[in-house]
Structure 1
């Protein structure tokens, strides 16, 4: 059922954006590479997302990333953290020097990258990445990760014992958004699934009824941001890593993502309820 629902949601999203012209990857990167950017994330039920995207397609000159005739791509991200989950806890407690290390694989082509995300000035996100051969291991990429984190002021970066943990999978459509001061981009994710190794067997959670829209640009809101606001949608605190870990590991703090979890992610038999009133005031 969840697989069929995810496919249906993806079909509806693609149909809503079908009237828009395509844009090639080279032009998209040139217009809006945005490795340093302001991210705004929105969580929408499928029906609400389709209404917004229908209106976007009829009111702007936005274009959809198209590669070899395809307007969407399947993604897999493997997140790396220390045994005491330093990356997770830094994010859960909103520390300024928080970081995220992951591999990202474009499943349709098999191409993988090793990515390091950190917080830059004024709340912007800085992403740095290199091509990587083995998405399930850091290997020689540990040098890149250590040097990158050290440059960004992360304590003990070269010696962090990072190991693979949470895996997320989803299907993504990317939109180039015109703006008066340049261009922004947005991603539309459907079919999101999390998987985490646990004693006995992996724990998984799929949310095929939801669409995650993320706008990536400068401090000036994009046309899509303003359209979402007109429809009553506001940015949410959502981290695919943090939210997934908090959802699948009930003993972890969920503070920054509690609203999203309670509003959109109903409990399942694999996820027990938390004790009311839990806070994120927990040291690494």
Structure 2
């Protein structure tokens, strides 16, 4: 986490206590895209009683998400168009703890969103096992897409970032702060946004303390998907109307890099104790 964020002034909270105090099974998520300077001012304005996730003195954690899509980008196009049915499939790896999950988020014809996840082997995070494809097929069938499309799914985009997690003073809400954002496209370029921060609040229906701090500073929630917005930024020929304001504004200063010869990984190469399946 960049040194412009003063994370040391908050009391730490461990993961077990965070889950117990702020599980937020029913919640409203709001996302904001800010400059690093603006985000630093927001963090400085938070209530001093705010808690921050702390594991052994570490307060920002490395994340890697691998997104799967079909060759015709079915998942992307469903997100880009105003369709009720949509899905997103990814592995999410918590790099520092060397743990991973396979996550499937679906929305059916009645606009009900379902997010589910199962444990996954970090060593298998860039591929779908047979069990994982069955899991995806079941979710696609549930929203009327057709489970057979699960056979077409392959790696499309990898995102990497560092995240700090805050718990509000009243323990009723959480917020996450993502920095050092990177989008690594399987077809070529790598996109970085060193000047940007994505801040997400998670609260009951009422606005959280963090939302109110953001609103007072003139920031408003935006529609952003790390996968779909990143794909639109990397590939200008793709539909982009849904995120056009972001792409013309905050993402205008994004940097494109040639892909490295060897794709970077923050995961140890030795075998883990996890089974190599979902």
Which range, TM-score by smaller chain? 0.7 to 0.9
Structural RMSD (CA): 2.3
CA deviations on 1:60-115 (whole Å, 9 max, x unpaired) are: 52211111221111111110011111110111013222111000111122211101
Cα distance per residue 1:117-144 (max 9 Å; x no partner): 2348997754211111111011121122
TM-score (norm 2): 0.84
Offset of residue 231 of structure 1: 0.3
Give the number of aligned pairs.
253
Q: Which residue of 2 aligns with 1:173?
A: 164
Indicate how the Cα distance of structure 1 residues 255 and 266 shifts in structure 2: closer, same or farther if over 3 A, else same: same
1:275 corresponds in structure 2 to: none
Task: State the partner residue of 2:83.
Answer: 95
Tell me, yes or no, if the aligned pair for 2:9 and 2:48 is still in contact at 8 Å. no
Q: Are residues 235 and 207 of structure 1, via their aligned partners in 2, closer, same or farther at CA, if it must alter by over 3 Å?
A: same
Match of 1:11 in 2: 3
Pairing partner for 1:186 from 175, 178, 192? 175
1:79 matched to 2:67? The reply is yes
- Helix, strand or coil: the match of 1:108? helix
Distance 1:108 1:270, change over 3 A: closer
Partners in 2 of 1:96 and 1:269 — Cα distance?
33
Aligned residues of 1:78 and 1:166 also touching (Cα < 8 A)? yes
SS in 2 for 1:33: coil
* 2: CA distance, partners of 1:193 / 1:53: 22
Name whichever of 108-117 and 238-247 sits farther off: 108-117
TM-score (norm 1): 0.82
Distance apart, 1:35 and its partner CA: 5.4
Match for residue 51 of structure 1?
41
Task: Give the match for residue 137 of structure 1.
Answer: 127
* 1:131 aligned counterpart, secondary structure: strand
* Preserved contact between residue 193 and residue 255 of structure 2 (Cα < 8 Å): no
In structure 1, the gaps of 5 or more residues are 1-6, 272-284
Structure 2: state its 5+ residue gaps. Answer: 258-278
Residue aligning to 2:260: none
Q: What is the rounded CA distance, in whole Å, between the counterparts of 2:48 and 2:106 in structure 1?
A: 32
2:185 is aligned to: 196
C-alpha distance in 2 between matches for 1:120 and 1:217: 23
**1:212 aligned to which of 198, 222, 229:** 198
Report the alpha carbon displacement of residue 32 of structure 1 after superposing the two structures with TM: 2.7
What corresponds to 1:233 in structure 2?
Answer: 219
Match of 2:137 in 1: 146
Q: Which aligned pairs between 1:245-264 and structure 2 lie closer than 5 A? A: 245-264=231-250
SS of the residue aligned with 1:40?
Answer: strand
Structure 2 residue 39 is the aligned partner of structure 1 residue 39:
no
Structure 1 ranges of 4+ moved more than 4 A: 120-125, 267-271
